[in-house]
């Protein structure tokens, strides 16, 4: 088989004193932390769209990245070479999972039937590559936002014909995800939103979106797919207002339509910041509601208002993210998918390796720091004490739902002004820094 990244050998763990930029210094996949190996905790996945289909193009200029797997004039040859290059990359990097959109792996043809036949061809090849390498599919999804037919959305399109096209794509994408043993299936609402309310019936569009998801739940049952269905919230871009704005909004939507038991969230760091939250907030809101499924690991630029999808290298953020994930019991079917892209100027194939190696090391460091903080109870003891009033007597009576307004009033009349305690934020931030540095 042709080698697409001949300049890179299998990336190894060399320890933190290594000066080799193509080695892990913190990610030792076999190291055990809190009863599981780092590989089992972190469940890293590489995304197909940015890593193998990204070209460095932006609204101001065309591709900057020239690759040796996308230079054929035959689009199916490109698809075949790219899937081989992808599995070579996953193997050399040492990740156990990958993620894709249907249209990433096989180009659209002139009809849905032909497009699906092309997909089947590449899926058969992907299945063989998965078997040969042991690399698994974390999740699959459909791209129902790039083609011009989806200019006004997919499930929320004003036309039932476009809705039907989108539903047909979801159907097939779920089937191939099942065929490839995917652990999940993601719905990111590509253009499910609006640009102006002057032409939008919002209530009707939301009902239609729920209808699409109901069909997906039904289809999952019909084909026997056991993977987790996931929604990936995002507040804006490409539309001015995306309906799946943030985790809170998605949870309320799912509850309204009786779908909440069927879905979990796939939280993306940069989507959280676009929504005016931080990454940890979105993760914590999900864990508080029992719906954290998986993570799109990346980073935004706080000075830019769009989805820059940078590789995650901020140890402060990876620590707090892993802290929240560990506190929730860790991933089951989910993982850390690098939904991140190289900067336009990072034009060499080896840059893809630097980017992933650095991000994997950043999460490995975050995980180890978070585990140590949890083991020591560094922050948890303070939280426990802060809420201790609820653990017995009067607090328990309220928590159990056995108290009334009259009881509250009586308590205050008898006991007087509540005792206050410091929130200790500065102290806790200092403790966090001590663990990180
Ligand atoms: C877009 C985005 C998507 C989803 C999958 O912002 O994050 O790539 O992760 O459709
Ligand atoms: Co994403």
Question: How does pLDDT run along the chain (437 residues), one tens digit per residue?
Answer: 799 999 999 999 999 999 999 999 999 999 999 999 999 999 999 999 999 999 999 999 999 999 999 999 999 999 999 999 999 999 999 999 999 999 999 999 999 999 999 999 999 999 999 999 999 999 999 999 999 999 999 999 999 999 999 999 999 999 999 999 999 999 999 999 999 999 999 999 999 999 999 999 999 999 999 999 999 999 999 999 999 999 999 999 999 999 999 999 999 999 999 999 999 999 999 999 999 999 999 999 999 999 999 999 999 999 999 999 999 999 999 999 999 999 999 999 999 999 999 999 999 999 999 999 999 999 999 999 999 999 999 999 999 999 999 999 999 999 999 999 999 999 999 999 999 99
Q: Which two tokens stand for residue 359?
A: 């991000």
Q: Is 375 helix (H, G, I), strand (E, B) or coil?
A: helix
C-alpha 137/C-alpha 127 separation (Å) is 10
Ligand 1 pocket, residues with Cβ under 6 angstroms: 49, 101, 141, 186, 188, 232, 234, 268, 296, 307, 339
Q: Cα(268) to centroid of ligand 2, in Å?
A: 6
Peptide bond into 238 cis (omega under 30): yes
Q: Is 208 known to be catalytic?
A: no
Burial of 302 (0-12, 13-18, 19+ CB in 10 A): exposed
184 strand-pairing partners: 139, 228
Predicted TM-score of the model (pTM): 0.98
Compute the distance between CA of residue 326 and CA of residue 36 in angstroms, rounded to an integer: 11
Q: Catalytic residue at 101?
A: yes
86 sits in which H/E element? helix 75-93
User: Which among 102, 177, 234 is the best mutation to test ligand 1's pocket, defined by most ligand atoms within 8 Å of the CB?
Assistant: 234
CB 234 within 8 A of CB 189: yes
| Alpha carbon of 154 to ligand 2 centroid (Å) | 17
Q: How far apart are CA 95 and CA 100, in angstroms?
A: 15
Q: What is the pLDDT of residues 71-116, one digit of tens each?
A: 999 999 999 999 999 999 999 999 999 999 999 999 999 999 999 9
Rounded distance between C-alpha atoms, residue 227 and residue 49, angstroms: 21
CB-based contacts of 335: which residues, under 8 Å, 6+ apart? 42, 43, 44, 45, 97, 138, 183, 294, 295
C-alpha 314 – ligand 1 centre gap (Å):
21
> Is the dihedral angle over the CA atoms 192, 195, 200, 201 positive or is it negative?
positive
Q: Which listed residue (41, 50, 101, 271) is catalytic?
A: 101
């Amino acid at each position: 088989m042709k080698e697409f990244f001949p300049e890179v050998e299998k990336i190894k763990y060399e320890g933190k004193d290594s000066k080799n930029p193509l080695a892990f210094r913190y990610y030792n996949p076999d190291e055990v932390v809190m009863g599981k190996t780092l590989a089992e905790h972190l469940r890293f996945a590489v995304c197909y769209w940015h890593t193998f289909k990204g070209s460095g193009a932006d609204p101001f200029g065309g591709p900057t990245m020239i690759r040796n797997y996308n230079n054929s004039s035959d689009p199916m040859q490109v698809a075949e070479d790219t899937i081989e290059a992808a599995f070579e990359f996953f193997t050399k990097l040492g990740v156990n999972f990958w993620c894709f959109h249907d249209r990433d792996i096989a180009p659209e043809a002139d009809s849905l039937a032909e497009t699906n036949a092309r997909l089947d061809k590449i899926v058969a090849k992907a299945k063989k590559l998965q078997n040969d390498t042991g690399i698994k599919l974390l999740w699959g999804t459909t791209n129902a936002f790039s083609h011009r037919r989806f200019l006004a959305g997919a499930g929320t399109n004003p036309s039932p014909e476009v809705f039907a096209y989108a539903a047909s794509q979801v159907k097939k994408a779920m089937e191939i995800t099942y065929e490839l043993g995917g652990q999940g299936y993601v719905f990111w609402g590509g253009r499910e939103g609006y640009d102006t309310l002057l032409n939008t019936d919002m209530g009707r569009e939301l009902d239609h979106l729920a209808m699409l998801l109901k069909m997906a739940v039904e289809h999952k049952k019909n084909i026997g797919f056991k993977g987790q269905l996931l929604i990936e919230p995002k507040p804006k871009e490409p539309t001015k207002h995306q309906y799946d704005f943030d985790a809170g909004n998605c949870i309320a939507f799912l509850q309204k339509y009786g779908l909440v038991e069927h879905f979990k969230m796939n939280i993306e760091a940069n989507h959280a910041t676009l929504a005016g939250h931080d990454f940890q907030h979105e993760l914590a809101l999900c864990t508080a509601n029992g719906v954290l499924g998986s993570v799109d690991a990346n980073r935004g630029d706080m000075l830019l208002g769009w989805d820059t999808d940078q590789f995650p290298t901020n140890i402060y953020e990876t620590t707090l993210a892993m802290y929240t994930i560990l506190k929730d019991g860790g991933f089951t079917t989910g993982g850390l998918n690098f939904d991140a892209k190289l900067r336009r100027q990072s034009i060499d194939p080896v840059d893809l390796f630097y980017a992933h190696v650095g991000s994997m090391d950043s999460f490995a460091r975050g995980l180890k720091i978070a585990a140590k903080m949890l083991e020591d109870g560094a922050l948890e003891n303070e939280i426990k004490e802060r809420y201790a009033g609820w653990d017995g007597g009067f607090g328990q009576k309220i928590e159990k739902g056995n108290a009334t307004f009259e009881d509250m009033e009586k308590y205050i009349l008898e006991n007087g002004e509540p005792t206050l305690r410091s929130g200790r934020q500065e102290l806790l931030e200092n403790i966090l820094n001590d663990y990180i540095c």
